[in-house]
Amino acid sequence: MATIKDVARLAEVSTATVSRVLNGNGYVHLETKERVAKAIQQLNYRPNDVARSLYKGRSKMIALFVPDIMNPFFPELARAVEDMAKQHEYTFVLCNTDDDPEKEIAYIEALKQKSLDGIVVVSSTMSGAYMKDFDLPVIALDRILHKDLSSVTVNNKEGALQAVEYLKEIGCKRIAHIAGPEHVSNAKQRLNGYLDAVKQEDWFKYSYVEQGEYHFEEAKQATQRLLEKHPEIDGLFVANDLMGVGALKAAEALGIRVPEDLSIIAFDGITLGETTTPTLTTMAQPIYKIGARAAEMLIHQIEQIEQEKQDEEFKVTLVERDSTRNRREIHDNN
Amino acid sequence: MATIKDVARLAEVSTATVSRVLNGNGYVHLETKERVAKAIQQLNYRPNDVARSLYKGRSKMIALFVPDIMNPFFPELARAVEDMAKQHEYTFVLCNTDDDPEKEIAYIEALKQKSLDGIVVVSSTMSGAYMKDFDLPVIALDRILHKDLSSVTVNNKEGALQAVEYLKEIGCKRIAHIAGPEHVSNAKQRLNGYLDAVKQEDWFKYSYVEQGEYHFEEAKQATQRLLEKHPEIDGLFVANDLMGVGALKAAEALGIRVPEDLSIIAFDGITLGETTTPTLTTMAQPIYKIGARAAEMLIHQIEQIEQEKQDEEFKVTLVERDSTRNRREIHDNN
DNA sequence: GTGAAAGCGCTAACAT
DNA sequence: ATGTTAGCGCTTTCAC
Per-residue pLDDT of chain B (334 residues; tens, 9 = 90+): 899 999 999 999 999 999 999 999 989 999 999 999 999 999 999 999 999 999 999 999 999 999 999 999 999 999 999 999 999 999 999 999 999 999 999 999 999 999 999 999 999 886 655 765 678 999 999 999 888 899 999 999 999 999 999 999 999 999 999 999 999 999 999 999 999 999 999 999 999 999 999 999 999 999 999 999 999 999 999 999 999 999 999 999 999 999 999 999 999 999 999 999 999 999 999 999 999 999 999 999 999 887 789 999 999 999 999 999 754 455 444 3
CA of B56 to C1' of D6 (A): 15
pLDDT reading at A197 higher than 70: yes
Cβ contact, residue pair B276, A271, below 8 Å: no
CA distances from B22 to B4, B39, B42 (A): 10, 12, 15
In this complex, the answer to whether residue B20 has its CB under 7 A from any atom of chain D, a nucleic strand, is yes
B275, B276, B287, best to mutate vs chain A, most A CBs in 10 Å: B275
Alpha-carbon span A119 to A93, nearest angstrom = 9
Which residue does chain A place closest to B77, by CA atoms?
Answer: A70
Q: Residue-wise over B199-218: b if at least 16 C-beta within 10 A, else e?
A: eeeeebeeebbbbbbbbbeb
Give strand letter and number of the nucleotide nearest A54 (CA to C1'). Answer: C8
Alpha-carbon span B101 to B215, nearest angstrom = 20
Alpha-carbon span A175 to A173, nearest angstrom = 6
Greatest CA separation for chain A? 88
Distance from CA of A310 to the nearest CA of B (A): 28
Q: Which ranges constitute the DSSP H helices of B146-240?
A: 156-169, 185-198, 216-229
Bridge partner list, A263: A235
Residue A259 preceded by cis peptide, ω within 30: yes
Q: Are strands A317-319 and A281-284 parallel, antiparallel or unpaired?
A: antiparallel
Cβ contacts (< 8 Å) between B53 and chain A: which residues?
Answer: 50
Q: Are B28 and B17 in contact (CB under 8 A)?
A: yes
Cβ contacts (< 8 Å) between A51 and chain B: which residues?
Answer: 54
Cα pseudo-dihedral B37, B43, B49, B50, rounded to 10: -140
Q: Residue-wise over B128-152: b if at least 16 C-beta within 10 A, else e?
A: eeebeeeebbbbbbbbbbeeebbbb
Q: What is the mean pLDDT of residues A112-140?
A: 85
Q: What is the mean pLDDT of residues A75-98?
A: 98
Alpha-carbon span A76 to B75, nearest angstrom = 11
Cβ contact, residue pair A70, B69, below 8 Å: no
Greatest CA separation for chain B? 88
Q: Which of A242, A272, A247 is nearest to A262 (CA)?
A: A247
Give strand letter and number of the nucleotide nearest A30 (CA to C1'). Answer: C1
Alpha-carbon span B327 to B10, nearest angstrom = 76
pLDDT (0 to 100) of residue A134 = 73
pLDDT (0 to 100) of residue B135 = 83
CA of B30 to C1' of D4 (A): 22
pLDDT, averaged across chain A: 94
Q: Which of A149, A140, A226, A217 is nearest to A184 (CA)?
A: A140
Please name the residues in contact with A314: beta carbons below 8 A apart, sequence gap of 6 or more. Answer: A152, A153, A154, A155, A285, A286, A289, A290, A293
**CA quadruple A190, A193, A198, A204: dihedral positive or negative?**
positive
Domains and CATH numbers, chain B: 4-55 (1.10.260.40), 61-153+287-313 (3.40.50.2300), 156-285+319-333 (3.40.50.2300)
Q: Are A121 and A105 in contact (CB under 8 A)?
A: no
| pTM summary value | 0.95
A304: left (phi over 0), alpha (psi -120 to 50) or beta: left
Helix, strand, coil shares of chain B as percentages rounded to 5? 50, 15, 35
Alpha-carbon span A323 to A279, nearest angstrom = 6
Per residue in B228-285, pLDDT (tens digit) is: 999 999 999 999 999 999 999 999 999 999 999 999 999 999 999 999 999 999 999 9
Q: Which of A309, A328, A308, A312 is nearest to A320 (CA)?
A: A328
Per-residue DSSP letter, B132: H
Percent share of chain A, pLDDT over 90: 89
Task: Choose the closest CB to B277 out of A46, A69, A276.
Answer: A276
pLDDT (0 to 100) of residue A291 = 98
pLDDT-based confidence at A131, cuts 50/70/90? low
CA of A321 to C1' of D2 (A): 74
Cβ contact, residue pair A54, B48, below 8 Å: yes
Task: Choose the closest CB to B113 out of A48, A69, A115.
Answer: A48
